[in-house]
Every structure is written in C-alpha cells, then in structure tokens.
C-alpha cells in the first residue's frame, strides 16, 4: 500500500526526507506508475521532471540520460512513456533527489507524485503481493 496525504501529514520533516531517500534506493523495476498510457503529454513531462532526480555523481554508470525540461517538452508522448519505464528501471544509488531544503508540503507532494506502485514479485510459484499470498 502506498502513502496517502493523511498518513504523510503525521510524519515529521526528517521522516519525510528519509522516505524520499528511500524512493531513490528502490531496486530497479520493482515499481511502476499507474495508467501512464492515459496521461497527457503535459502530465508525462511533469512526472518525469519531478521524479527523475539528478545523477548521483558524474562518474556514476547509468544508461538513463536525465533529460532537462526543455528536452522533455520536445518529446512525443510515446517517447515520454518509454522514458518513464526507463526511469523505473534504474539501479538504486545511480540518482538522488535534492530534498534537503524542501518544505514539508513539498516533500509530501513529491512522495505522492513519485512513489508509484510496487510490482508483484514471484516467490516459489505463487504470486507474492506486498504481504499477502495470491494463488
């Protein structure tokens, strides 16, 4: 289950920063964004612009290119959807978010925008979904 605005409001700013850091530490391809096929170009640009973060270090090895907003605005919707899928396939530790000076409302908005939804994982023939078993 993802975070809600109500659940995040009860957290302190330090806890929210830890959640943001945790988003950058997720294993690649363990989450996705719902209904990206239904998002408009403007919504796709906003999603990537907000959620892609920054490259961790200049010498970091990653195939993801971190396009600036000017380049995102020139892309077609299909290219943006592909970019969203590439973004969720990045290795942890290859990108970061610059949350140190963010206000509590900005931290909450960021988490709600960028948390995505976890992808179910296969465990021994059954489908494991976040704590419950599904056959």
pLDDT at 130 over 70: no
* Domain carrying residue 116: 5-134
pLDDT tens figures, 7-44:
999 999 999 999 999 999 999 999 999 889 999 999 99
What is the count of structural domains for the chain?
Answer: 1
| pTM given for the model | 0.82
Answer whether 68's CB lies under 8 Å from 92's CB: no
pLDDT tens figures, 43-62:
999 999 999 999 877 777 88
CA–CA distance, 24 with 7 (Å, rounded to integer): 20
């Amino acid at each position: 289950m993802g975070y809600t605005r109500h659940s995040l409001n009860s957290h302190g700013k330090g806890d929210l920063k830890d959640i943001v850091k945790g988003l950058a530490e997720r294993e690649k391809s363990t989450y996705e964004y719902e209904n990206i096929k239904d998002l408009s170009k403007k919504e796709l640009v906003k999603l990537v612009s907000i959620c892609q973060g920054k490259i961790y270090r200049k010498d970091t090895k990653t195939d993801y290119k971190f396009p600036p907003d000017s380049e995102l605005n020139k892309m077609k919707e299909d290219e943006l959807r592909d970019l969203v899928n590439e973004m969720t396939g990045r290795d942890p530790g290859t990108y970061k978010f610059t949350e140190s000076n963010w206000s509590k409302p900005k931290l909450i908005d960021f988490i709600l925008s960028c948390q995505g939804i976890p992808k179910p994982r296969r465990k021994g023939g059954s489908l494991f979904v976040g704590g419950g078993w599904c056959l």
